[in-house]
Amino acid sequence: MSVSPVVPHHIAIVMDGNGRWATRRFLPRLAGHKQGVDSLRRCARACVERGVGVLTVFAFSSENWNRPAEEVSGLMELLAMALAREVPQLTKDGVRLYFVGERAGLSPKVRDGLAQAEAATAHNTRLVLNVCFNYGGRWDIAQAAAALAAKGEPITEASLNAAMGMAHVPDPDLVVRTGGEMRISNFLLWQIAYSELVFSDRLWPDFDESALDEAIAAYSARERRFGKTSEQISPSAHPDPMPG
Catalytic positions are 16, 64
> Contact, 172 vs 191, CB < 8 A?
yes
- Tell me which DSSP letter residue 32 carries: H
Please count the CA atoms within 13 angstroms of the CA of 178 that sit on its side-chain side.
27
φ/ψ of residue 134, rounded to 5: 55, 50
> Contact, 146 vs 23, CB < 8 A?
no
Q: Please state whether beta strands 10-14 and 95-100 pair in parallel, antiparallel, or not at all (unpaired).
A: unpaired
HEC-encoded secondary structure of 78-129 = HHHHHHHHHHHHHHHCCEEEEEECCCCCCCHHHHHHHHHHHHHCCCCCCEEE
Q: How far apart are CA 203 and CA 225, in angstroms?
A: 31
User: Residues for the chain: how many in total?
Assistant: 244
- CA distances from residue 70 to 16, 29, 105, 181 in whole angstroms, order as listed: 19, 10, 17, 25
User: What is the rounded radius of gyration, in angstroms, for the C-alpha atoms of the chain?
Assistant: 19
